[in-house]
């Protein structure tokens, strides 16, 4: 608001004793200003007069006409830290070419001590020589808008903080450094000086200090371990509830005694809780600058504590999963080694049994009757089947060893498989057609085994119709889909899962010989490559076996 040395009162802008009554348009203007919380003023530099509207008085915390408007009265009501900026805005506007000014500042109402925000705009009228002769301005109470803007800014800052901490915790593989970094950010946001995080230690049944910021080494050592119920953090962990201490004395006692030496005036501790109510630890913040935390600050601490608890649960789950996976991998290695060693060790006594049975048959052929020859035949056949079973078990066990994944054309593996089955193919009269095969990342030997087992399966379970087998491949997102289709006997859809289980058979060994390992071996090989295998079939309408191979397998 401009400076003038004369200031002859409000003129016709407000009621004064002895002044004429207001006209209708003046009343309407005054009412509009009151509704909008917008006042106005006018400075006539030619006659040296300054006037304020009624609402201008009210905005500055006075009754209309309570005093003669003046620069001194204006300055007295401007917040001290904003006075120089207001004076400078007006002074700059008086320079040549200046048409006015706009500034926001705070007003301190003397009677109540209330602080309000005001937006002031001014326009100048200049003479032909460029001299300012008249200034007209308005003052608008923008306190509500300013508070809304500040609230929105705080809300945005809070959202950005929570989003950033959530992302950081989600990306972190280790809790302690992530929580320490987050605590620093929260301390800066809340203007706190201390942050402590305790985690529950199941072995000791106590709380272990995981993060300590803003306290001395001696303080950290003193609170490195807490019992449940010891100190504020111990109470929060024991009871599973938030504990807020305010107006902490210089020499705290009882639960606050552990804070002695930290110089804290306010301290808030939140339990880190799982969904099932288990307390995983505590997260605390303390300040030396204020005696109490605003509710919004406590709410933010709770939200951060919830994020830390969720991250802790996730990391504990991942750790448990890793341990389980490692234990399962070790168990699988042991089982594979056991299967390999057992199968290998069984071969020698089996050869001995088979050899002696054959010697018995050759040496005493003429001395044995038909039934004895039949029994010897049973023994030899059983030994052969046992040998095949051992061979299949060895093949199944070897799949657990390291794969030799290399890029190569699947045609090479398919051709080797068909060459190995040349005798069966010729005997069955099967007609085999194939698509063009792609380059895949696979263990070529094991891929050959998959093709060989699936084609052999199609030959074994053929129908009376001329056998037709087709091996195809097509591109799918992320890899290749292979299929082996036949027009054999098919099967019920309900058996689609069972046939891939080791030693599971749908038919008797007498009708369809085999060990029941072939499809289980295919499943293990495909899954070791990161793919999957399944079958679609109907009785009497043949079967189609599908399996996928991803582009790359680590």
pLDDT in tens, 73-98: 888 899 999 999 999 999 999 998 88
> Mean pLDDT, to the nearest integer, of 514-541?
86
Is 104 a residue whose pLDDT tops 90?
Answer: yes
Tens-place pLDDT, residues 464-509: 889 999 999 999 888 999 999 999 888 888 777 888 877 665 654 5
- From CA 163, how far away is CA 142, in angstroms rounded? 31
Domains and CATH numbers, the chain: 32-143 (3.30.450.20), 150-319 (3.30.450.40), 403-550 (3.30.565.10)
- From CA 471, how far away is CA 222, in angstroms rounded? 73
In 364-477, which ranges are continuous DSSP H helix? Answer: 370-398, 410-420, 422-428, 444-460
Contacts of 359 (CB under 8 A, 6+ apart): none
Q: What is the pLDDT of residue 209?
A: 93
Percent of the chain predicted with pLDDT > 90: 38
Token readout for 191 is 């203007």
Contacts of 219 (CB under 8 A, 6+ apart): 212, 261, 262
Q: What is the pLDDT of residue 286?
A: 92
Place of tokens 């649960």: 313
Q: How many CB atoms lie within 10 A of CB 186?
A: 21
Confidence at 339, pLDDT banded by 50, 70, 90: low
Is 14 a residue whose pLDDT tops 50?
Answer: no
- From CA 67, how far away is CA 74, in angstroms rounded? 11
Q: Are strands 431-434 and 406-409 parallel, antiparallel or unpaired?
A: unpaired
Burial 242-259 (b: 16+ CB within 10 A, else e): ebbbeebeeebeebbebb
Stretch among 234-243, 356-365, 382-391, 449-458 having the lowest mean pLDDT:
382-391
> Mean pLDDT, to the nearest integer, of 322-332?
79
- From CA 553, how far away is CA 406, in angstroms rounded? 10
Q: What is the pLDDT of residue 6?
A: 35
Q: What is the mean pLDDT of the chain?
A: 84
Q: What is the pLDDT of residue 37?
A: 79
Burial 359-374 (b: 16+ CB within 10 A, else e): eebeeeeeeeeeeeee
Is 513 a residue whose pLDDT tops 90?
Answer: no
> Mean pLDDT, to the nearest integer, of 535-544?
89
Residues paired with residue 271 on neighbouring β-strands, in sequence order: 282
Q: What is the pLDDT of residue 436?
A: 92
Tens-place pLDDT, residues 399-422: 656 677 889 999 999 999 999 888
Stated pTM of the model: 0.53
Percent of the chain predicted with pLDDT > 70: 85
Stretch among 131-135, 185-189, 203-207, 259-263 having the lowest mean pLDDT:
259-263
Is 314 a residue whose pLDDT tops 50?
Answer: yes
């Amino acid at each position: 608001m401009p400076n003038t040395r004369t200031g002859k009162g409000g003129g016709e802008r407000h009621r004064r004793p002895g002044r004429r009554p207001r006209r209708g348009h003046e009343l309407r203007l005054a009412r509009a200003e009151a509704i909008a919380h917008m006042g106005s003023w006018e400075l006539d530099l030619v006659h040296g007069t300054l006037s304020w509207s009624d609402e201008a008085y009210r905005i500055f915390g006075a009754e209309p006409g309570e005093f003669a408007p003046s620069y001194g009265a204006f300055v007295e009501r401007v917040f001290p830290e904003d006075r120089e900026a207001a004076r400078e805005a007006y002074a700059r506007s008086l320079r040549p070419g200046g048409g006015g000014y706009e500034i926001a500042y705070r007003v301190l109402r003397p009677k109540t001590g209330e602080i309000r925000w005001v937006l002031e705009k001014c326009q100048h009228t200049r003479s032909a020589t460029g001299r300012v002769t008249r200034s007209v301005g308005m003052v608008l109470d923008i306190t509500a808008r300013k508070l809304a803007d500040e609230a929105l800014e705080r809300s945005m800052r809070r959202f950005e903080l929570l989003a950033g901490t959530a992302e950081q915790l989600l990306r972190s593989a280790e809790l302690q450094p992530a929580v320490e970094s987050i605590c620093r950010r929260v301390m800066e946001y809340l203007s706190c000086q201390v942050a402590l995080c305790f985690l529950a230690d199941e072995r000791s049944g106590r709380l272990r200090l995981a993060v300590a910021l803003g306290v001395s080494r001696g303080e950290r050592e003193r609170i490195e371990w807490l019992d449940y119920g010891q100190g504020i953090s111990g109470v929060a962990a024991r009871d599973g509830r938030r504990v807020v201490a305010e107006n902490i004395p210089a020499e705290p006692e009882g639960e606050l005694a552990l804070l002695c030496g930290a110089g804290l005036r306010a301290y808030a501790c939140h339990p880190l809780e799982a969904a099932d109510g288990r307390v995983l630890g505590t997260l605390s913040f303390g300040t030396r600058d204020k005696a109490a935390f605003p509710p919004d600050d406590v709410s933010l601490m709770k939200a951060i504590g919830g994020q830390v608890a969720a991250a802790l649960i996730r990391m504990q789950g991942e750790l448990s999963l890793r341990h389980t996976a490692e234990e399962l991998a070790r168990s699988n290695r042991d089982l594979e080694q056991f299967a390999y060693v057992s199968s290998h060790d069984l071969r020698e006594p089996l050869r001995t049994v088979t050899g002696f049975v054959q010697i018995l048959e050759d040496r005493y052929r003429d001395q044995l009757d038909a039934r004895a020859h039949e029994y010897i035949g049973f023994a030899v056949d059983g030994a052969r089947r046992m040998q095949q079973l051992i061979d299949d078990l060895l093949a199944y066990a070897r799949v657990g060893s390291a794969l030799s994944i290399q890029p190569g054309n699947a045609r090479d593996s398919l051709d080797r498989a068909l060459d190995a089955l040349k005798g069966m193919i010729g005997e069955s009269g099967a007609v085999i057609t194939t698509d063009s095969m792609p380059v895949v990342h696979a263990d070529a030997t094991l891929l050959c085994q998959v093709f060989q087992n699936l084609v052999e399966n199609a030959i074994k379970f053929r129908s009376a119709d001329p056998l037709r087998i087709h091996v195809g491949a097509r591109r799918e997102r992320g890899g290749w889909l292979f299929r082996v289709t036949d027009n054999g006997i098919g099967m019920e859809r309900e058996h689609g899962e069972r046939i891939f289980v080791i030693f599971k058979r749908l038919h008797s060994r007498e009708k369809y010989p085999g060990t029941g390992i072939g499809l289980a071996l295919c499943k293990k090989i495909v899954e070791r490559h990161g793919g999957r295998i399944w079958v679609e079939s109907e009785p009497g309408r043949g079967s189609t076996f599908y399996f996928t191979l991803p582009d790359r397998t680590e």
